[in-house]
Each structure stands twice: as C-alpha cells, then as structure tokens.
Amino acid sequence: MVDRYYLAEDSLPTIPTPHDCQITDIEFDENFLIFKFDNDISKYDSIQFIKPNAKTLCIRIHLVDPVFYAYKYRYKKLSKKEGYFLVDNGKLKDLAKDKNALEYLYHYVGFTSFMIKLYNRGHYLLDVTADYVEFEWTEK
C-alpha cells in the first residue's frame, strides 16, 4: 500500500512519523531520497496505532532539487563551536550500515520543504526540497 503526500498544494499534509524506527538503508539519486526500514516495523510504538499489521516501510521523497543538505550537530565540548555543521551526503549511506542503529526521529513539513531529524551517535538534520513523499507499507 502506497500513501502519497503532496508538499506543493494549498494545504500541507499531516504525514505520520516513524519515530524511533531503525533505518537499514538509505539511497539517493537526482530524483529520489529513499529510506528503508527494518522488518517488523509494527513493533515500534509510533507504528502500532498507524499500521498495526505493517512489516516494513519504505519512504520515498521525490526531489525537486537534486541537491540536499545534511548537517550534524556538534557540541562545544567536542569541537570549538557548537551547532549544525554540513556533512557529506555520502556519509548517510554509511550511517545506515553502522553497527549503531540509525533512528528516524521526526520531520518538519513545509511548502516544498521536508526536514528530517535522524540519530546515530549524534543528531543529523536533512534539508530537502521535494514536491511529494511516498510511504510504501508492506503488510505481514
């Protein structure tokens, strides 16, 4: 089942958040940014009430601009300055394969804007210009 949410309409959609769910793979090209989640995603509290019979989830974000930005938050005690600093987008693929889980925390929705907060030994923020987001659910 595929749910599509349009970000360039008169009113913004309410998009469900797979909070604390583990991302197992990230792919991107000039058209899409794709998040694939672990099997048995319905074990997470945030999914149990949305799709209790869901096995997996794949989020596809259709990019208006193929350039998107990824930032990592650095604390002052670990670096000279505190705040978000730009990181290479290629690092995102490595984070999904890291032994520490890459978690989807939440997202912000704006007109052709989708901002995603992730966590893996630190906070990451992705700033994406998109016109729609697809949630592809696979049932058990």
| CA dist 3 → 16, 83, 95, 108 (Å) | 10, 34, 26, 18
Give the pLDDT confidence of 27-81 residue by residue, as tens digits.
Answer: 999 999 999 999 889 999 899 988 999 999 999 999 999 999 999 998 777 667 7
d(CA 133, CA 140): 23
Q: What is the pTM of this model?
A: 0.91
**Domain total in the chain:** 1
Q: Which two tokens stand for residue 106?
A: 């939440």
Write out the residue range of the structural domain in which residue 82 sits: 2-139
- Give first-to-last CA distance, the chain, whole Å: 12
> Which residue carries 């978690």 as its tokens?
103
8 A C-beta contact, residue 140 and residue 53: yes
